[in-house]
Amino acid sequence: DAGVIQSPRHEVTEMGQEVTLRCKPISGHNSLFWYRQTMMRGLELLIYFNNNVPIDDSGMPEDRFSAKMPNASFSTLKIQPSEPRDSAVYFCASIGYSGTYGKQFFGPGTRLTVL
Amino acid sequence: TQLLEQSPQFLSIQEGENLTVYCNSSSVFSSLQWYRQEPGEGPVLLVTVVTGGEVKKLKRLTFQFGDARKDSSLHITAAQPGDTGLYLCFSGNTPLVFGKGTRLSVIA
Protein backbone atom coordinates (compact mmCIF):
# COMPACT_ATOMS: atom_id res chain seq x y z
CA ASP A 1 0.00 0.00 0.00
CA ALA A 2 1.32 3.44 -0.90
CA GLY A 3 0.09 5.05 2.30
CA VAL A 4 -1.53 8.48 2.44
CA ILE A 5 -0.40 10.62 -0.47
CA GLN A 6 -0.22 14.39 -0.29
CA SER A 7 0.66 16.91 -2.95
CA PRO A 8 2.44 19.13 -3.38
CA ARG A 9 5.14 18.44 -0.80
CA HIS A 10 6.22 22.06 -0.81
CA GLU A 11 4.35 25.16 -1.89
CA VAL A 12 5.63 28.72 -1.92
CA THR A 13 3.16 31.39 -2.88
CA GLU A 14 2.53 35.07 -2.45
CA MET A 15 0.00 36.62 -0.17
CA GLY A 16 -3.42 36.81 -1.78
CA GLN A 17 -2.96 33.78 -4.02
CA GLU A 18 -5.19 30.73 -3.91
CA VAL A 19 -3.60 27.53 -2.58
CA THR A 20 -4.98 24.01 -3.04
CA LEU A 21 -3.58 21.07 -1.10
CA ARG A 22 -4.46 17.54 -2.12
CA CYS A 23 -4.76 14.24 -0.28
CA LYS A 24 -5.36 10.66 -1.32
CA PRO A 25 -6.24 8.50 1.71
CA ILE A 26 -5.46 4.82 2.10
CA SER A 27 -7.96 2.71 0.20
CA GLY A 28 -10.71 1.38 2.46
CA HIS A 29 -10.29 4.04 5.15
CA ASN A 30 -13.58 5.82 5.80
CA SER A 31 -12.37 8.79 7.82
CA LEU A 32 -10.03 11.59 6.81
CA PHE A 33 -8.54 14.37 8.90
CA TRP A 34 -6.79 17.61 7.91
CA TYR A 35 -4.29 19.09 10.37
CA ARG A 36 -2.04 22.12 10.47
CA GLN A 37 1.25 22.10 12.39
CA THR A 38 3.30 25.09 13.55
CA MET A 39 5.92 25.45 16.25
CA MET A 40 3.75 27.86 18.18
CA ARG A 41 0.42 26.04 18.06
CA GLY A 42 1.45 22.43 17.55
CA LEU A 43 -0.74 20.04 15.56
CA GLU A 44 -4.25 21.43 15.16
CA LEU A 45 -7.23 19.55 13.75
CA LEU A 46 -8.88 21.64 11.04
CA ILE A 47 -11.66 19.37 9.78
CA TYR A 48 -12.56 15.73 9.54
CA PHE A 49 -14.75 13.66 7.24
CA ASN A 50 -16.57 10.36 7.75
CA ASN A 51 -17.66 8.60 4.57
CA ASN A 52 -16.91 11.79 2.60
CA VAL A 53 -19.20 13.92 4.81
CA PRO A 54 -17.68 16.77 6.88
CA ILE A 55 -18.36 16.00 10.53
CA ASP A 56 -16.54 18.73 12.40
CA ASP A 57 -15.06 21.84 10.81
CA SER A 58 -14.80 23.85 14.02
CA GLY A 59 -11.03 23.95 13.66
CA MET A 60 -11.10 25.73 10.31
CA PRO A 61 -9.64 29.10 11.21
CA GLU A 62 -11.55 31.36 8.84
CA ASP A 63 -13.83 31.47 5.85
CA ARG A 64 -10.70 31.64 3.75
CA PHE A 65 -10.28 27.93 4.40
CA SER A 66 -12.47 25.30 2.77
CA ALA A 67 -12.22 21.54 2.40
CA LYS A 68 -13.97 19.04 0.18
CA MET A 69 -14.07 15.29 -0.19
CA PRO A 70 -15.87 14.54 -3.46
CA ASN A 71 -15.21 10.80 -3.20
CA ALA A 72 -13.56 8.24 -0.94
CA SER A 73 -10.19 8.55 -2.61
CA PHE A 74 -9.61 12.29 -2.77
CA SER A 75 -9.79 15.41 -0.61
CA THR A 76 -8.69 19.01 -1.02
CA LEU A 77 -7.98 21.85 1.37
CA LYS A 78 -8.17 25.28 -0.21
CA ILE A 79 -7.01 28.61 1.15
CA GLN A 80 -8.22 31.70 -0.66
CA PRO A 81 -6.78 34.24 -0.30
CA SER A 82 -3.66 33.04 1.43
CA GLU A 83 -1.89 35.08 4.12
CA PRO A 84 1.62 34.83 5.61
CA ARG A 85 0.17 33.51 8.89
CA ASP A 86 -1.12 30.47 6.99
CA SER A 87 2.49 29.30 6.61
CA ALA A 88 2.67 25.86 8.23
CA VAL A 89 2.92 22.16 7.48
CA TYR A 90 -0.46 20.73 6.54
CA PHE A 91 -1.07 17.04 7.16
CA CYS A 92 -3.77 14.73 5.97
CA ALA A 93 -4.48 11.51 7.88
CA SER A 94 -6.82 8.63 7.17
CA ILE A 95 -8.16 6.30 9.82
CA GLY A 96 -7.95 2.54 9.86
CA TYR A 97 -9.65 0.50 12.57
CA SER A 98 -8.25 -2.53 14.33
CA GLY A 99 -10.94 -3.50 16.79
CA THR A 100 -12.59 -0.51 18.43
CA TYR A 101 -9.84 2.08 18.28
CA GLY A 102 -8.76 3.97 15.23
CA LYS A 103 -5.22 4.43 14.04
CA GLN A 104 -4.36 7.55 12.14
CA PHE A 105 -2.07 7.11 9.16
CA PHE A 106 -0.48 10.42 8.28
CA GLY A 107 0.75 11.61 4.93
CA PRO A 108 4.17 13.25 4.60
CA GLY A 109 2.66 16.73 4.78
CA THR A 110 2.69 19.82 2.59
CA ARG A 111 4.99 22.61 3.72
CA LEU A 112 3.28 25.88 2.80
CA THR A 113 5.11 29.18 2.77
CA VAL A 114 3.13 32.33 2.06
CA LEU A 115 5.34 35.33 1.35
CA THR B 1 -5.31 26.42 27.93
CA GLN B 2 -4.33 23.18 26.21
CA LEU B 3 -6.66 20.24 26.81
CA LEU B 4 -3.60 17.97 26.84
CA GLU B 5 -0.52 19.36 28.57
CA GLN B 6 2.72 17.63 27.74
CA SER B 7 5.90 17.97 29.72
CA PRO B 8 8.70 18.60 29.42
CA GLN B 9 8.52 20.58 26.22
CA PHE B 10 12.14 19.80 25.34
CA LEU B 11 14.48 17.09 26.57
CA SER B 12 18.08 16.46 25.60
CA ILE B 13 19.80 13.42 27.07
CA GLN B 14 22.80 11.18 26.51
CA GLU B 15 22.49 7.76 24.94
CA GLY B 16 21.80 5.12 27.57
CA GLU B 17 19.88 7.36 29.96
CA ASN B 18 16.29 6.75 31.04
CA LEU B 19 13.55 9.32 30.70
CA THR B 20 9.86 9.88 31.32
CA VAL B 21 7.53 12.27 29.53
CA TYR B 22 4.02 13.16 30.61
CA CYS B 23 0.63 13.92 29.15
CA ASN B 24 -1.83 15.48 31.61
CA SER B 25 -5.37 16.76 31.51
CA SER B 26 -8.24 17.70 33.78
CA SER B 27 -10.58 15.73 31.52
CA VAL B 28 -11.30 12.01 31.48
CA PHE B 29 -10.56 10.13 28.29
CA SER B 30 -11.94 6.89 26.94
CA SER B 31 -8.48 6.28 25.50
CA LEU B 32 -5.21 8.04 24.77
CA GLN B 33 -2.77 7.50 21.97
CA TRP B 34 0.95 8.22 21.72
CA TYR B 35 2.56 9.12 18.41
CA ARG B 36 6.17 9.79 17.43
CA GLN B 37 7.04 12.25 14.71
CA GLU B 38 10.43 12.42 13.05
CA PRO B 39 11.63 15.53 11.19
CA GLY B 40 10.00 15.95 7.78
CA GLU B 41 7.46 13.20 8.35
CA GLY B 42 3.98 12.73 9.73
CA PRO B 43 3.33 11.27 13.19
CA VAL B 44 3.29 7.49 13.57
CA LEU B 45 1.14 5.71 16.14
CA LEU B 46 3.05 3.96 18.92
CA VAL B 47 0.29 2.77 21.24
CA THR B 48 -3.32 3.15 22.36
CA VAL B 49 -4.14 2.90 26.09
CA VAL B 50 -7.74 2.38 27.07
CA THR B 51 -8.04 1.08 30.64
CA GLY B 52 -7.27 3.09 33.78
CA GLY B 53 -3.99 1.88 35.26
CA GLU B 54 -3.05 0.05 32.08
CA VAL B 55 0.63 -0.48 31.30
CA LYS B 56 1.80 -1.34 27.80
CA LYS B 57 5.33 -2.09 26.70
CA LEU B 58 6.83 -1.64 23.27
CA LYS B 59 10.45 -2.81 23.45
CA ARG B 60 12.22 -0.16 25.56
CA LEU B 61 9.12 2.07 25.74
CA THR B 62 6.63 1.71 28.60
CA PHE B 63 3.29 3.50 28.45
CA GLN B 64 1.00 3.98 31.43
CA PHE B 65 -2.56 5.28 31.58
CA GLY B 66 -3.51 6.92 34.88
CA ASP B 67 -6.05 5.22 37.12
CA ALA B 68 -8.50 8.08 36.59
CA ARG B 69 -7.85 8.09 32.82
CA LYS B 70 -6.80 11.76 32.92
CA ASP B 71 -3.10 11.36 32.33
CA SER B 72 -0.50 9.15 30.74
CA SER B 73 3.25 8.71 30.80
CA LEU B 74 5.86 7.34 28.46
CA HIS B 75 9.07 5.94 29.91
CA ILE B 76 12.05 5.11 27.70
CA THR B 77 14.77 2.86 29.07
CA ALA B 78 18.34 3.18 27.81
CA ALA B 79 17.51 5.81 25.19
CA GLN B 80 19.15 5.55 21.79
CA PRO B 81 19.70 8.18 19.08
CA GLY B 82 16.94 6.50 17.08
CA ASP B 83 14.46 7.55 19.77
CA THR B 84 14.98 11.18 18.80
CA GLY B 85 11.75 12.84 17.72
CA LEU B 86 8.60 14.63 18.80
CA TYR B 87 6.38 12.56 21.09
CA LEU B 88 2.70 13.51 20.94
CA CYS B 89 -0.31 12.36 22.91
CA PHE B 90 -3.78 12.39 21.36
CA SER B 91 -7.21 12.30 22.95
CA GLY B 92 -9.38 9.27 22.25
CA ASN B 93 -12.64 11.17 22.41
CA THR B 94 -13.98 14.56 21.38
CA PRO B 95 -12.63 17.09 21.28
CA LEU B 96 -9.99 15.35 19.20
CA VAL B 97 -6.76 17.09 20.07
CA PHE B 98 -3.04 16.53 20.19
CA GLY B 99 -0.81 17.80 22.94
CA LYS B 100 1.97 20.13 21.81
CA GLY B 101 4.49 17.36 22.31
CA THR B 102 7.83 16.66 23.91
CA ARG B 103 10.78 17.15 21.62
CA LEU B 104 13.39 14.54 22.56
CA SER B 105 16.99 14.60 21.45
CA VAL B 106 19.22 11.64 22.30
CA ILE B 107 22.89 12.38 21.85
CA ALA B 108 25.32 9.57 21.04
- pLDDT tens sequence across A2-60: 899 999 999 999 999 999 999 999 999 989 999 999 999 999 999 999 999 999 899 99
Count of CB pairs separated by less than 8 Å, A with B: 46
* pLDDT score, position A98: 60
* pLDDT score, position B19: 98
Average pLDDT over residues B34-57: 95
Which chain A residues have a beta carbon less than 8 Å from that of B94?
Answer: 56
Percent of chain B whose predicted confidence (pLDDT) is above 70: 98
- Going through chain B in order, the beta strands assigned E by DSSP cover 5-7, 10-14, 19-24, 32-37, 44-49, 55-58, 61-65, 71-76, 85-91, 102-107
Which residue in B has a C-alpha nearest to residue A91's C-alpha?
A: B42
Query: pLDDT band at B95, cuts 50/70/90?
Result: confident
Q: Are residues A42 and B98, on separate chains, in Cβ contact within 8 Å?
A: yes
Q: Are residues A104 and B45, on separate chains, in Cβ contact within 8 Å?
A: yes
